[in-house]
């Protein structure tokens, strides 16, 4: 274990403990109400004071300082007010990127290759190109478009022009120009909330109700029995069962399936894990049926699972066709390697901005810091430490730490409680002892700390959990 | 014809004291050799098929865009209509260097869960201060496409909620939606117009009807489309024909709505169909839409992504119409750098939390920029200045169009600098755009054979003169 703390290096003044001044959150409530008059703020936990937030600690307007293991829904990579990122934010390059935002597809800056190059330094193994977007949902939809372009080009020929019938029918949103093609996703998956990404999302009804959706299929995602090492045979059968469903859908779904979209760990849907064999099975099936494989690394990507990209653990052969990213990387988009994933004509994968160099520059910096400080290893090391402590707590409070998940997945850890109410109560009580922590699915708790969350932070977290659970 | 005006104080000189006095073209072609080389390298990692030229943003200044070869072009395309105040505007640099901005860049919040203390104020001083008449609420997003899609989501949830009343979701809705099926998944639709452009994510693309290349190979919702008036120019000569054409389109629209097999939740229209060719219609036409949508309980969304933020000589182009009641939602992006939609009816906010939701729900760094943009526009009276420059530019263009046998259908009278004209065919148009670039003018096309002007709000008479001189020379 290295004794050089990275968080102390970035944040010599990071507090040792949370500060709980008040649990009534009066100022927060006022601010949220004021904001609510002009902006839907009903999902607000509290009003945050980012100027007072530091490292792993987030400040609210009531003077509380929470240890943050939710980190803006898994999207703060290096802690609040990280000095290295502040330096980037103040750089001439950044200022230029903010002030003169280019339409990248038409007028790329002369430094765009370099900016992409910085991001590509931490690209998943086997990927060497990227396309940039603006959010997780956007990244996935851009990837779907790439998949559909590719799929039709396979049939038509990469360089073949469109038929007259296609060109005419498409203006009426009809086939063959607007073909009926599907993306297959999984039950309990979450891929975003625009219309196509929303059609692949399958975590909760509230995410989908009242919105039109494409008639795209869902397969089942493995539901494992825990602990894993005691249920090897049963879980293997579960993989096979789910893969058979995927194969069946390829053969029977009314619309051809052009791509399969899957998270390495289903995050919003409850931190559901699956084996490398399952994912290799998916890889094989997509190849067999002439479809592409998209790994959605929006939440799992950028280090938190102890590898830069969670799917790298599966060592898929050949690597996935597209890997989408956002959140912790601050910049969004997809990685790919096959040049024919770039559509044959201009203005097909296109929009006004085609990404945002300001955010791309930040992503480059985040990647650089991760490499420089070996933060993926840090997450791995701290994750092991934390997981062991949680296991111990689990034996003491089994009802409140059911199905502990994320062994050997660094700090990407989750567990379940017995009901939604119990879980919500727990999240609430944790806030009162100074921990900002998030849930997922109906009954689960997930840890999504920064990459500079270390043993001392883990100790604070464990102590707080124990404090809360000891009163139950 | 040489145009020169003496004794005029230029605001652009205040912001850009060293702005070039005319374009500089050093290379025999634009893009030049350096641009081509860099672009080729870029192509190894990034789809660069649509590159005009590689740009040097560090040396772009005011109304001039600098390319990798050191050429400086007068820019009337402005990043597809999205640069409001010129390149490297000192006021925006100031905003970019502010503590507020640095905070927003390094501590990007999940706004709906952990709003920052200053977000309400940032909105109030910027995006909301600029809200169209009758609108006082906002939802923020990231680009034009998702501004429209979040507005569509609001429309669908509103219409279903109206039908459902106070009842909770039914068991059937809750289970069918997980299979993307009705009744939980909506069968309602969004109506758009022929030649409309509303973005390229799947929902917005289903309403885009500009060109086949924007849509091919991408699955789309089977949503209805109505005809948009095809006006004849010059307007003064075709008053009666155009009135009839608009009435025809309104009649057709009402017919489509009345016979729609599925409920139409909302209608979306641009004040000027921009990507589709800068197609205008009269205020009466839009008032007609307002009346029909009201009558049939269809929400009326105005897409001001390209027309908004001053270029039309009003802050929002739909203000030209003087509608009897405001639209239900107005979407924005581009020149405002921030994106989203405005509304006023509180019922357009879904009843439950976490329905209009995503990780970031916007980007405070862009809202801060929007605030700075709004404040400059307001302080310097840029909207009315743009209206004046537009009138000047229009009359200059009118003379050119009258003389030329290559140009026709000049549009955008009394509409600020939001001006366009057609060439006799696409080849002539494409050659014109290329020749302009070679003469130091960066200008964009739209539709099949259109040329559109989308300059900054600091494009002034002297720039208009340069523009007209170059165009005349090229012609
Ligand atoms: C795996 C995954 N994909 C996509 C998304 C959507 O990202 P965004 O909210 O930025 O649209 C999320 C967000 O939680 C996610 O976890
Ligand atoms: C009127 C209109 N709406 C929507 C869009 C889509 O905006 P974006 O490219 O930012 O998604 C555009 C872009 O040109 C537009 O002109």
Domain assignment of residue B255, yes or no = yes
What's residue B447's pLDDT? 86
Positions of E strands within A191-274 = 218-219, 257-262, 265-266, 272-273
In the structure encoding, which two tokens stand for residue A50, read together? 């980012």
* CATH at residue B396: 3.90.1150.10
List active site positions of B. Answer: 197, 303, 334, 359
A434 and A383 within one domain:
yes
What's residue B8's pLDDT? 65
Q: How many structural domains comprise chain B? A: 2
B360 and B237 within one domain:
yes
Domain assignment of residue A97, yes or no = no
Residue ranges of chain A whose pLDDT lies below 50:
1-2
B206 and B124 within one domain:
yes
A381 and A270 within one domain:
no
Chain B residues touching residue A209 (CB < 8 angstroms):
157, 160, 169, 173-174, 177, 184, 355
Contact B79 A136 (CB under 8 A): no
ipTM value: 0.96
How far is the centre of ligand 1, averaged over its atoms, from the C-alpha of A267 (Å)?
9
Domain assignment of residue A428, yes or no = yes
How much is the mean pLDDT over chain A? 96
CA distance A410 to A406: 7
Domain assignment of residue B292, yes or no = yes
DSSP conformation class of A150 = H
B369 and B324 within one domain:
yes
B403 and B355 within one domain:
no
Nearest by Cα to B306 from B318, B289, B297: B318
Q: Please identify, among B379, B411, B438, the residue that sits at the C-terminal boundary of a domain.
A: B379
Domain span at B296: 109-379
What's residue A217's pLDDT? 97
B304 and B446 within one domain:
no
List active site positions of A. Answer: 190, 296, 327, 352
A209 and A330 within one domain:
yes
Q: Find out whether A113 and B114 touch, Cβ atoms under 8 Å.
A: no
Chain A residues touching residue B53 (CB < 8 angstroms):
107
Task: Give the ligand at the shortest distance from the Cα of B339.
Answer: 2
* CATH at residue A46: 3.90.1150.10
Domain assignment of residue B100, yes or no = no
Query: What is the residue whose two structure tokens read 């155009």?
Result: B242
What's residue B6's pLDDT? 55
Q: Please identify, among A290, A322, A355, the residue that sits at the C-terminal boundary of a domain.
A: A355
A445 and A297 within one domain:
no
Domain assignment of residue B79, yes or no = no
A255 and A142 within one domain:
yes
B399 and B330 within one domain:
no
Q: Please identify, among B341, B362, B379, the residue that sits at the C-terminal boundary of a domain.
A: B379
B394 and B344 within one domain:
no
What's residue A113's pLDDT? 96
What's residue B17's pLDDT? 96
pTM exceeding 0.90 = yes
Q: Specify the length of chain B in residues.
A: 475
* pLDDT tens-digit readout, B44-70: 999 999 999 999 999 999 999 999 999
Nearest by Cα to A46 from A330, A444, A450, A431: A431
Contact B337 A101 (CB under 8 A): yes
Domain assignment of residue A366, yes or no = no
B340 and B421 within one domain:
no
Instruction: Give just the sign of the alpha carbon dihedral B147, B149, B152, B154.
Output: negative
Domain assignment of residue B84, yes or no = no
Which residue CA neighbors atom 10 of ligand 2 most closely?
B144
Q: Please identify, among A321, A355, A389, the residue that sits at the C-terminal boundary of a domain.
A: A355
Q: Please identify, among B379, B397, B415, the residue that sits at the C-terminal boundary of a domain.
A: B379
Domain assignment of residue A363, yes or no = no
Domain assignment of residue A284, yes or no = yes
CA distance A218 to B439: 56
Domain assignment of residue A95, yes or no = no
Q: Which residue of B has its CA nearest to A358?
A: B105
Contact B179 A41 (CB under 8 A): no
Domain assignment of residue B330, yes or no = yes
Domain assignment of residue A367, yes or no = no
A112 and A55 within one domain:
no
Domain assignment of residue B390, yes or no = yes
Preceding omega of B183 cis (within 30 degrees of 0): yes
Domain span at A321: 102-355
B305 and B395 within one domain:
no
A316 and A408 within one domain:
no
* CATH at residue B195: 3.40.640.10
In angstroms, the separation between the Cα of residue B236 and the nearest Cα of chain A is 32
Nearest by Cα to B252 from B327, B194, B189, B320: B194
What's residue B54's pLDDT? 97
Domain assignment of residue A118, yes or no = yes
A109 and A248 within one domain:
yes
Residue ranges of chain B whose pLDDT lies below 70:
1-8
A193 and A221 within one domain:
yes
C-alpha distance from residue A439 to each of A304, A417, B113, B326 (Å):
17, 10, 13, 41
B398 and B270 within one domain:
no
Compute how many other C-beta atoms are within 10 angstroms of the C-beta atom of residue B258.
Answer: 10
A265 and A128 within one domain:
yes
A77 and A148 within one domain:
no
Contact B39 A108 (CB under 8 A): yes
Q: Taking phi first (over 0 means left), then psi (-120 to 50 degrees means alpha), and beta for anything else, what does residue B407 get?
A: beta
* CATH at residue A349: 3.40.640.10
B249 and B211 within one domain:
yes
Task: Among A178, A194, A326, select the one facing B218 at the smallest CB separation.
Answer: A178
What's residue B401's pLDDT? 96
Domain assignment of residue B253, yes or no = yes
Q: How many structural domains comprise chain A? A: 2
Interface A:B, Cβ pairs < 8 A: 381
B398 and B275 within one domain:
no
A316 and A217 within one domain:
yes
Q: Which helix (H) or strand (E) holds B120?
A: helix B119-125
């Amino acid at each position: 274990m290295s004794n050089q703390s990275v968080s102390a290096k970035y944040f010599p003044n990071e507090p040792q403990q949370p500060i709980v001044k008040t649990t009534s959150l009066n100022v927060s409530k006022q601010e949220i109400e004021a904001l609510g008059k002009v902006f839907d703020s009903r999902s607000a936990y509290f009003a945050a004071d980012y100027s007072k937030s530091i490292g792993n600690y987030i400040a609210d307007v009531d003077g509380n300082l929470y240890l943050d293991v939710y980190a803006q829904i898994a999207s703060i990579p290096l802690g609040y007010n990280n000095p290295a990122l502040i330096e980037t934010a103040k750089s001439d390059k950044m200022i230029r990127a903010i002030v003169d935002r280019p339409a990248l597809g038409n007028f790329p800056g002369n430094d765009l290759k370099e900016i992409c190059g910085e991001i590509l330094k931490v690209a998943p193994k086997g990927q060497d190109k990227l396309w940039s977007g603006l959010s997780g949902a956007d990244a996935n939809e851009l990837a779907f478009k790439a998949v559909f372009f590719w799929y039709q080009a396979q049939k038509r020929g990469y360089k073949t022009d469109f038929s007259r019938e296609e060109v005419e029918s498409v203006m009426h949103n009809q086939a063959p120009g607007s073909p009926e093609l599907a993306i297959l996703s999984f039950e309990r998956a979450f891929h975003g909330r625009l219309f196509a990404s929303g059609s692949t999302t399958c975590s909760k009804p509230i995410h989908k109700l009242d919105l039109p959706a494409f008639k795209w299929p869902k397969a089942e995602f493995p539901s494992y029995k825990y602990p894993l090492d005691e249920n090897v045979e049963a879980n293997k059968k579960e993989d096979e069962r789910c893969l058979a469903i995927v194969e069946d859908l390829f053969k029977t779904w009314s619309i051809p399936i052009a791509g399969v979209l899957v998270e390495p760990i289903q995050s919003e849907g409850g931190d559901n894990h699956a084996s490398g064999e399952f994912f290799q099975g998916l890889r094989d099936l997509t190849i067999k049926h002439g479809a592409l494989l998209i790994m959605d690394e929006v939440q799992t990507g950028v280090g938190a699972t102890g590898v830069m990209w969670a799917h790298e653990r599966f060592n898929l052969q050949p690597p996935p066709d597209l890997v989408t990213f956002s959140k912790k990387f601050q910049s969004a988009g997809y990685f790919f390697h096959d040049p024919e994933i770039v559509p044959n004509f201009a203005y097909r994968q296109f929009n006004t901005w085609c990404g945002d160099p300001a955010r791309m520059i930040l992503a480059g910096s985040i990647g650089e810091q991760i490499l420089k400080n070996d933060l993926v290893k840090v997450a791995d090391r701290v994750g092991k430490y934390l997981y062991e402590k949680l296991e111990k707590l689990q034996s003491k409070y089994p009802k409140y730490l059911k199905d502990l998940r994320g062994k050997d997945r660094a700090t990407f850890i989750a567990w379940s409680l017995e009901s939604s109410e119990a879980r919500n109560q727990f999240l609430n009580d944790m806030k009162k002892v100074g921990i900002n922590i998030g849930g997922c699915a109906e009954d689960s708790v997930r840890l999504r700390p920064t990459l500079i969350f270390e043993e001392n932070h883990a100790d604070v977290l464990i102590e707080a959990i124990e404090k809360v659970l000891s009163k139950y | 014809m040489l145009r020169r005006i003496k004794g005029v104080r230029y605001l652009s000189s205040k912001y850009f004291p060293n702005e070039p006095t005319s374009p500089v073209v050093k290379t025999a072609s634009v893009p030049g050799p350096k641009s081509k080389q860099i672009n080729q390298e870029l192509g190894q990692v990034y789809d660069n098929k649509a590159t005009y030229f590689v740009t040097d943003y560090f040396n772009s200044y005011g109304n001039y865009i600098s390319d990798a070869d050191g050429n400086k072009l007068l820019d009337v395309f402005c990043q597809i209509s999205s640069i409001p105040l010129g390149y490297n505007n000192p006021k925006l640099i100031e905003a970019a260097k502010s503590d507020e901005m640095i905070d927003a860049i390094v501590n990007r919040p999940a706004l709906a869960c952990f709003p920052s203390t200053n977000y309400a104020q940032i909105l109030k001083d910027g995006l909301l201060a600029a809200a169209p008449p009758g609108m006082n609420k906002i939802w923020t997003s990231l680009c034009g496409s998702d501004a429209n899609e979040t507005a569509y989501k609001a429309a669908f949830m509103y219409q279903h909620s109206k039908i459902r009343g106070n009842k909770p979701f039914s068991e059937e809705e809750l289970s069918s939606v997980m299979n993307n099926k009705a009744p939980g998944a909506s069968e309602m639709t969004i109506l758009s117009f022929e030649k409309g452009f509303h973005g390229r994510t799947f929902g917005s693309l289903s309403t885009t009807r500009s060109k086949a290349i924007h849509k091919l190979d991408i699955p789309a919702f089977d949503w209805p489309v109505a005809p948009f008036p095809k006006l004849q120019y010059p307007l003064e000569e075709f008053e009666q024909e155009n009135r009839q054409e608009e009435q025809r389109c309104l009649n057709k629209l009402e017919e489509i709505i009345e016979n729609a097999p599925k409920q139409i939740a909302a209608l979306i229209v641009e004040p000027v169909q921009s990507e589709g060719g800068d197609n205008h219609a009269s205020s009466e036409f839009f008032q007609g839409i307002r009346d029909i949508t009201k009558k049939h309980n269809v929400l009326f969304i105005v897409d001001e992504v390209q027309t908004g933020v001053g270029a039309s000589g009003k802050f929002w182009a739909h203000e030209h119409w003087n509608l009897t009641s405001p639209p239900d939602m107005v979407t924005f992006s581009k020149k405002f750098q921030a994106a989203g939609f405005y509304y006023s009816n509180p019922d357009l906010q879904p009843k439950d939390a976490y329905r209009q939701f995503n990780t970031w729900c916007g980007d405070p760094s862009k809202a801060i920029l929007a605030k700075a943009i709004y404040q400059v526009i307001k302080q310097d009276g840029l909207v009315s200045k743009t209206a004046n420059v537009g009138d000047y530019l229009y009359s200059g263009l009118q003379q050119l169009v009258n003389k030329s046998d290559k140009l026709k259908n000049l549009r955008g009278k009394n509409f600020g600098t939001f001006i366009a004209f057609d060439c006799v065919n696409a080849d002539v148009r494409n050659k014109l755009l290329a020749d302009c670039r070679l003469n130091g003018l960066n200008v964009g096309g739209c539709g099949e054979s259109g040329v559109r002007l989308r300059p900054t709000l600091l494009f002034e008479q002297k720039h208009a003169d340069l523009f007209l001189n170059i165009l005349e020379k090229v012609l």
